[in-house]
Amino acid sequence: MKILVLGGGPGGYVAAIKAAILGADVTLIEKKEVGGTCLNVGCIPTKALLASSEAFDMVNKAKEYGIEINGDVKVDFASMMERKNKIVEEMIKGIQFLFDKKSVKLVRGFGKLIDKNKIEVTKENGTKEVIEGDKIIIATGSKPIVPPIFPYDGENVITSDEALALENAPESMIIVGGGVIGCEFGQFFKKIGTKVTIVEMAKQLLNYEDKDVAKQLLRSFKRDKIKVKTNKKIEKCEIKGKKVTAYLDGGKTIEAEKMLVAVGRKPNIENIGLEELGIEIENGKIVVNEKMETNVEGVYAIGDIVDSPFLAHVASKEGIIAVENALGKDKKIDYKAVPRCVYTDPEVAAVGITEKEAKEKKIEYKTGTFQFRGLGKAKAIGKFQGFVKVIADNEDRIIGAAIVGPHATDLLAELTLAVKLGLTVEEVGDVIHPHPTLSEGIMEALHDVHNQCVHSV
């Protein structure tokens, strides 16, 4: 079986390697670097920069831990960027190494479907090559949305792509959007000295999460002196010289050196042959079933181009599902337990349904919470802001959870498994958790669902 994968992001490259492991002859077509948005201008580079700003923050707080530092502590922005670039390069080489080991053929160029078994690849030098296969998996990813109101020039008004390639840290920045991208970049730049203002149209940061989660993050942002303007709309935006001015509803204005537009992403599906092939598109996304199949036999679609969460780990799972079905298995995607992660300080992580969703769906539920300040480990490491919240239905099954606090994104795995398997509060709460650890916060929150939490007031 010969499988063609169009796009080398976390969906495409994982699908290609999985197909090779299962014995297929695999060719992956990618016009840029493998790794896609996640590795090149998303997940990995942003986390590398956040690690640098966290290290700077910890050095400045060293005295709280009994450590005296003599001399100036300064940010070397160029070195931060160099470290980030090195990590990205190493990971790209890692994927290419896996391709070589698994015999995945990599063809560089822009791919366009010309029928259900052929992709035409336009190389950088203008030459074209037609590659044939038995099955095709489309994984072309997404790109930043920039509404027309913003005079995007890639220099004064930028997206996350340009933010990751800046040569100098700006003195001031307006961030449009209080979602994951806006919050992460906002905290990074503020910690290294940039004056940051986040403008969000919704009533809260991270609008898809519960109010208590958003409030905890807002509290942290206020501590860091990040200005946050929620429930505000930018009506006009101008570039004057080297400054950007945003005019808000209500008459107020904000001026900054840079404006980062972080209002979301859109599927990257233009000019890849979908219409010509008759592939169904709805609301700008490719329509697929639970097997990741399009309406054209033998053609699959995964990742940001389909109607599922714009998350790297979702794309990877969809890629595996698509490959297994392409090779004759009967697999279906399940979105019940998709982790949602924000790598701010404190981190935010959630899975399953929120309280807000439970109320909208009229699901009877109960919650249990526990504050990190009640944990010895959290006190010992000096990171005790935040809480764990567990949401259970009337049959005691864990249907959702949220963690705001240190290492929240790592801690979430236990609760993700619980939601996926339909485990009960009692079942998971009966597990002996190690002491002293942050994971005890999960145990305590589970006990709190039944008002049996030993360490709560």
Query: Is residue 60 classed as helix, strand or coil in its secondary structure?
Result: helix
Instruction: Single out the residue of 155, 168, 170 nearest to residue 78, CA to CA.
Output: 168
H or E segment and range at residue 56: helix 43-60
β-bridge pairing 243-248 and 234-240? antiparallel
* Residue 140 marked ligand-binding: yes
* Residue 47 marked ligand-binding: yes
H or E segment and range at residue 441: helix 440-449
Instruction: Single out the residue of 212, 158, 160, 149 nearest to residue 183, CA to CA.
Output: 160
| Alpha-carbon distances of 313 from 9, 96, 138, 378, rounded to whole Å | 11, 19, 16, 28
Give me the half-sphere count of Cα atoms (radius 13 Å) on the Cβ side of residue 181: 26
* Residue 441 marked ligand-binding: no
Query: Is residue 312 classed as helix, strand or coil in its secondary structure?
Result: helix
Determine whether 302 is exposed, middle or buried from the number of CB atoms within 10 Å of its CB (0-12, 13-18, 19+).
buried
Query: Is residue 112 classed as helix, strand or coil in its secondary structure?
Result: strand
The rounded distance, in Å, linking the Cα atoms of 64 and 73 is 16
Residue with tokens 């697929």: 288
* Residue 304 marked ligand-binding: yes
Strands (E), 89-181: 105-108, 110-115, 118-122, 128-132, 135-138, 142-144, 157-158, 172-176
β-bridge pairing 142-144 and 265-267? antiparallel
* Residue 182 marked ligand-binding: yes
Q: Quick check: 372 and 406 in contact, CB under 8 A?
A: yes
* Residue 61 marked ligand-binding: no
The rounded distance, in Å, linking the Cα atoms of 447 and 401 is 14
* Residue 142 marked ligand-binding: yes
* Residue 376 marked ligand-binding: no
Query: Is residue 144 classed as helix, strand or coil in its secondary structure?
Result: strand
Residues annotated as catalytic (active site), given as ranges? 435
Query: Is residue 34 classed as helix, strand or coil in its secondary structure?
Result: coil
Query: Is residue 368 classed as helix, strand or coil in its secondary structure?
Result: strand
* Residue 237 marked ligand-binding: no
* Residue 183 marked ligand-binding: yes
* Residue 264 marked ligand-binding: yes
* Residue 132 marked ligand-binding: no
Query: Is residue 227 classed as helix, strand or coil in its secondary structure?
Result: strand
Q: Quick check: 386 and 443 in contact, CB under 8 A?
A: no
Which residue numbers belong to the known binding site for FAD? 47, 111, 140-142, 304
Which residue numbers belong to the known binding site for NAD(+)? 177-184, 200, 264
Which residue numbers belong to the known binding site? 47, 111, 140-142, 177-184, 200, 264, 304
